[in-house]
Amino acid sequence: MAEVEQQQQQNPALDLDSDDDIVTEGVSVVHGESPENESGPPKVDGQVEVLHEKVTKQIIKEGHGQKPSKYSTCFLHYRAWTESTQHKFEDTWHEQQPLELVLGKEKKELTGLAIAITSMKSGERALLHVGWELGYGEEGSFSFPNVPPMANIVYEVELIGFDETKEGKARGDMTVEERIGAADRRKMDGNALFKEEKLEDAMQQYEMAIAYMGDDFMFQLFGKYRDMALAVKNPCHLNMAACMIKLKRYDEAIAQCGIVLVEDENNVKALFRRGKARAELGQTDAAREDFLKARKYAPEDKAIAKELRLLAEHDKAVYKKQKELYKGLFGPRPDPTPKPKSWLVFIWQWLLLLFHRLFKQTRQKAD
């Protein structure tokens, strides 16, 4: 394993087509959008579905496949606001840490959320309204999260995916090897979906794999087990970045690469993909810095050389354009164009000339 990693660091092109780390070139671009909404819950015009007396749902994005059953282990992202004040008190997207929810074993304050999850398919995103009775209750929560008493809740939630009871265990009941193995299977499923250009579906699988490798889990690992976990986790982040670049979600791609670079500051693929995303955002100096650092560890890589050449051509074009602009601003001044004279000036000049000739003729006769 160490020998393969060393070869990959020396030349990242060695495994561009491998299942561990997918290549970003050569696939058509698919447009997508981030679910981020800082101004409050999203506005949804879809039909309101009543799931319970205190729970309603509006679909934002359709999902696919089956719905989870009782005791399924579900992985989801969500944002939560208090309905009356629109105060956002929780955001797993921002924390980059999906929630694991075992249906039928959820915390009391997540009862309404769990009811909605049972009606959703993998990949589905929805807007939920949950009454306080199925949320944080009459007393609310004054620790974390901070929720006032008797507060109705609005959720924006996306079901990333789920494992049925018969397929596996909850993360907390798994051994280290089982947890890493489950994550690796999700990663492989994501790679297969990527090759079919199903980018959103692929990202769901990568997110589920990353959910198995949560911060609480990684914090407990050291030695060979940590290396094993990172060998699965880091490629998932890099593959997420590859998908996001194709979806033109460049800021999110940069964030995914940054997670890898915290663990491995010289990771060539993380540097390369972050450089690509930065270049697309017009951050040419930062992109060049990433590509130059990547070239230091992979001097023969043609993809890195190509990106540096494109940046140089871009800089040359910008310089030429600026030079032409400044030439027009500070070049030689044009010859002044005489202003047209008014007809009054012409009459006055003609009268002066007439008087001058009459005076001259009179003087000649006198002499």
The stretches in the chain having pLDDT less than 70 are 1-38, 165-169, 327-343, 363-367
Q: Which burial class, exposed, middle or buried, applies to 14 when counting CB atoms under 10 A from its CB (0-12, 13-18, 19+)?
A: middle
Contacts of 275 (CB under 8 A, 6+ apart): 286, 287, 288, 289, 290, 291, 294, 307
Q: Please, where in the chain does CATH 1.25.40.10 lie?
A: 169-314
Closest CA to 95 of 33, 170, 36: 36
* Residue 166 pLDDT: 56
CATH 1.25.40.10: does it fit domain 169-314?
yes
pTM of the model: 0.66
Question: What are 134's two structure tokens?
Answer: 């199925």
CATH 3.10.50.40 maps onto the chain at: 49-167
pLDDT value at residue 96: 75
Specify the 3-state DSSP secondary structure of 84: coil
Q: Which residues contact 180 (CB under 8 A, 6 or more apart)?
A: 212, 213, 225, 228, 229, 232
d(CA 286, CA 279) in angstroms, rounded, equals 8
Residue among 149, 156, 157, 158 at smallest CA distance from 85: 149
Is-contact 35 123, C-beta < 8 A?
no
Beta bridge partners of 75: 100, 161
Q: What pLDDT is attached to residue 1?
A: 37
C-alpha–C-alpha distance, residues 241 and 245, integer Å:
6
Q: Which fold has domain 49-167?
A: Chitinase A; domain 3 (3.10.50)
d(CA 262, CA 189): 26
- Tokens 């749902």 found at: 57
Torsion of CA 27, 186, 201, 241, to 10 degrees: -50
